Amino acid sequence: MRKLSSGLLGLALLVPTSVSAAFQFQPNAVTFGVGPAMLQDGIGTTFFLSGRVDLGTFTDQLVWDAGLHWWQKTETTSYAFFGETSEIKTSFRDLAVSSGVKFLIPVQSPQWLPYARGGLALNFVDVSVKTTTGATTTGSVSGGDSDLGAYLGGGVSYRYSPSFLIGAEGVLNVTDADHFLLGVMASFPFGGSSAQ
């Protein structure tokens, strides 16, 4: 995982000078998403929320974007022992801050916009475990960690109007808390220079 992240970072630093020189910082679209998040290690499935901003363009097809996504999952296990019922509640939470590029795949239709995305993400993962017996809390522990990882995915948007696009995308996040996000996305371009 660390090698993959280092490799992507190294690749980003090797962007040709001509492409770097052509970069224009012009925020031009915001995107929001929601959908199922499939989590590793048998944690199961939950829902995620995400938001990102297109910050500028390197070329007509290559866009820099940055954003964040969040998901949380709580599992409760109950068991009875000598007539007492106890519960163990485990909560998992991840907030990821990401930055990368989106490649707009050229197609004939001006309304359909397929794309691929990739970049780096800093994940802030928290886990807490709480044990109760009856109404009494018998134990509680929590911990958190941050992890630099990578993400890769793609999707397609449909231009409903000049200021509204709707679509779907799938993104695999490769970190110590691997997860796959499959979401419905709504984008809102603004300004006259939108690459959307």
Q: For residues 183 and 172, is the Cβ–Cβ distance under 8 A?
A: no
Q: What is the CATH number of the domain that holds 42?
A: 2.40.160.20
Structural domain includes residue 196: no
Structural domain includes residue 135: yes
In the chain, at which residue ranges do the beta strands (DSSP E only) sit? 24-39, 44-57, 62-81, 84-104, 112-133, 136-161, 164-174, 179-189
pLDDT of 16? 44
Structural domain includes residue 144: yes
User: Residue 132 has which token pair?
Assistant: 């109760």
Structural domain includes residue 97: yes
Per the structure, the count of domains in the chain is 1
pLDDT, one tens digit per residue, over 5-51 is 454 444 444 444 444 558 889 899 999 999 999 998 778 899 999 99
Structural domain includes residue 177: yes
Does this model's pTM top 0.95? My answer is: no
Any idea of the CA torsion for 127, 133, 136, 140, to the nearest 10 degrees? -20
Structural domain includes residue 146: yes
pLDDT, one tens digit per residue, over 147-172 is 899 999 999 999 999 999 999 999 99
Structural domain includes residue 194: no
Res. 177 pLDDT band, cuts 50 70 90: confident
pLDDT of 86? 80
Q: What is the mean pLDDT of residues 88-107?
A: 93
Q: Which domain holds residue 51?
A: 2-14+24-189
pLDDT of 2? 47
